[in-house]
Copies of this chain bind each other. A is one copy, B any other.
Amino acid sequence: MTDLLPFVADLPLVDHHCHGVVTRDVPRADFEAMLTEADAPSPLGTSLFDSLIGLAVRARCAPVLDLPKHASAEAYLQRRAELGAAEVARRFLRGTGTTDFLLDGGFLPDALTTTPEFAGLAGARAHDVVRLEQVAEAVIGGSTAAGFAAAFAGELEKRAATAVGLKSIAAYRAGLELAGERPSPSEVEAAAGRWLAAGGTRLADEVLHRHLVFTGLDLGLPVQFHVGYGDADVDLHRCDPLLLTGLLRATRERGVPILLLHNYPFHRNAAYLAQVFEHVFVDAGLITHNAGFRRRPCWPSFLEIAPFGKVLFSTDAFGLAELYHLGTALFRQGLSDFLRAALDADALSEVDAVRMCALVGHENAQRIYRLEHV
């Protein structure tokens, strides 16, 4: 990382979408399972360390644990166990240069740090993002079809009181083809009735996901959407952000930000939405660390059409402390390479380069999530 532009190396970051870290030690199989979106190494393939992210762990993370670059996977995991999960987390998180982490605590919360624990490990501020579906799934059991909307709104308002944003995982459940209008109360009641009749467990209903989003927007809090790349539960062809066009058109007058997360491999489609809809913002989390040293495609593709004021930084790191480190370091590397090439071509001035970095690195997130008011 000695070749970073100084103002990129020192750029304070707001990681506007990530998750907690695991606090227990992880054996190799679990480590590989958390490294990518695969559930586990394939019996027909080879180790998941044989991947760009695996190589990146060995190249960029090993030195943080006092090992030589390119240490073997075995040596790496042994040293990791030796140091213990807490020390590993501290080293990686504190080296990121991140001032604020926005944590989605809605997935496997029992296995991960709480928000205060995370802040302690990282030596930084940590904020909550509330997963809409988790709230709905918490209230449906004690509710009726007719009472669901009020019960959800009440519980969401309570949980959101100390949060900086909300998140929809409609992409994982019903896909992103959400209709371009708020569902009526009777539609919501009917859908809640169907859900209750089906057992009221895992929410997967287009009407209800949509209702959750509109209810969230009522609170004026930014709403994040999982978009694109995820694990094998995703039907990726139903996760193209363009499927949200109708809903974005219907919500653009509200002045509430909508954030399209990850977006891979639909990042150009997402960038289009960020250009033409005033309330849409994008990031390139998740792919940044997965793609390892193949780090260049996402940032420049976004910037082809998305203005700098509409692009945010995130890692989408989950579980493994290495992923915060890699997501951050590879983001800095990509941003630096991109700007260095532009500066070399005299395509922008250094003053502008510094300003663009501040926007993407933290200013856009501070403005959108009103972090100065927290």
Q: A residues touching B (Cβ–Cβ < 8 Å)?
A: 36-40, 42-48, 50-52, 54-56, 58-59, 69-70, 229, 231-232, 235-237, 240, 242-243, 245-246, 249, 252, 255, 257, 264-265, 268-269, 272, 275-279, 281, 287, 290-294, 297, 300-301, 303-310, 342, 345-349, 352, 355-356, 359, 364, 367-368
Q: Which of B38, B236, B294, B305 contacts A229 (CB 8 A)?
A: B305
CB-contact partner of A294 in B69, B232, B303, under 8 A = B303
Closest 6 CB pairs of A and B: A46-B309, A42-B278, A265-B268, A45-B309, A293-B347, A237-B242
Residues in B whose Cβ lies below 8 Å from that of A252: 232
Report whether B304 and A52 are in contact in the complex, using a CB–CB cutoff of 8 Å: yes
Pick the contact of A46: B43, B279, B307 (CB < 8 A).
B307
Note all chain B residues with C-beta closer than 8 A to A242: 235-237
CA distance A100 to B249 in the complex (A): 38
Q: How far apart sit A355 and B278, CA to CA, in the bound complex (Å)?
A: 44
Query: Are A309 and B347 in touch, CB under 8 angstroms?
Result: no
Q: A44-B255, A237-B243, A356-B50 are in contact. Are A304 and B278 (CB under 8 A)?
A: no
CB–CB A275/B307 < 8 A? no
How many copies of this chain sit in the oligomeric assembly?
Answer: 3
- In contact, B45 and A310 (Cβ under 8 angstroms): yes
Q: In the complex, are the beta carbons of B43 and A255 less than 8 A apart?
A: yes
The answer for the CA separation of A249 and B243 in the assembled complex, in Å, is: 23
Report if A310-B237 is in contact (Cβ < 8 Å); known contacts: A304-B294, A305-B290, A348-B55: no
Residue of B nearest to A52 (CB): B303
Contact A308 B51 (CB under 8 A): yes
Bound CA span A235–B47, Å: 36
| Bound-complex Cα distance A301 to B236 (A) | 17
A45→B307 CA distance, assembly (Å): 8
- Determine if B276 and A37 form an interchain contact, defined as CB atoms under 8 angstroms apart: yes
Residue in chain B with minimal CB distance to A252: B232
Closest to A276 in B: B232
Least distance between A136 CB and chain B CB atoms (Å)? 25
Q: Which of A235, A243, A309 has the most chain B CB within a 10 Å cutoff?
A: A309
Complex-state Cα separation, A368 to B301, whole angstroms: 32
Task: Identify 19 residue pairs between A and B in the complex whose beta-carbon atoms are under 8 Å apart, listed by A's number.
Answer: A36-B305, A37-B276, A39-B278, A40-B278, A42-B279, A44-B281, A44-B367, A46-B307, A50-B356, A51-B308, A52-B304, A55-B352, A59-B346, A231-B276, A264-B268, A265-B269, A287-B305, A291-B305, A294-B300
**Which residues of chain B are near A277, meaning CB under 8 Å?**
232
The answer to whether B279 and A44 have CB atoms under 8 Å apart is yes
Residues of chain B within 8 A (CB-CB) of A237 are: 240, 242-243, 245, 269
In the complex, residue of chain B having the shortest beta-carbon distance to the beta carbon of A304: B291
- A355–B56 Cα distance when bound, in Å, is 16
Contact status A44-B236, CB under 8 Å: no
Task: State how many angstroms separate the Cβ of A232 from the closest Cβ of chain B.
Answer: 4
The residue in A40, A305, A364, A368 that gathers the most chain B C-beta atoms within 10 A of its C-beta is A305
Closest residue on chain B to residue A71 by CB atoms: B349
Chain B residue contacts of A301, Cβ below 8 A: 297
B297 engages A304 (CB within 8 Å): yes
Do residues A347 and B272 form an inter-chain contact, with CB atoms below 8 A?
A: no
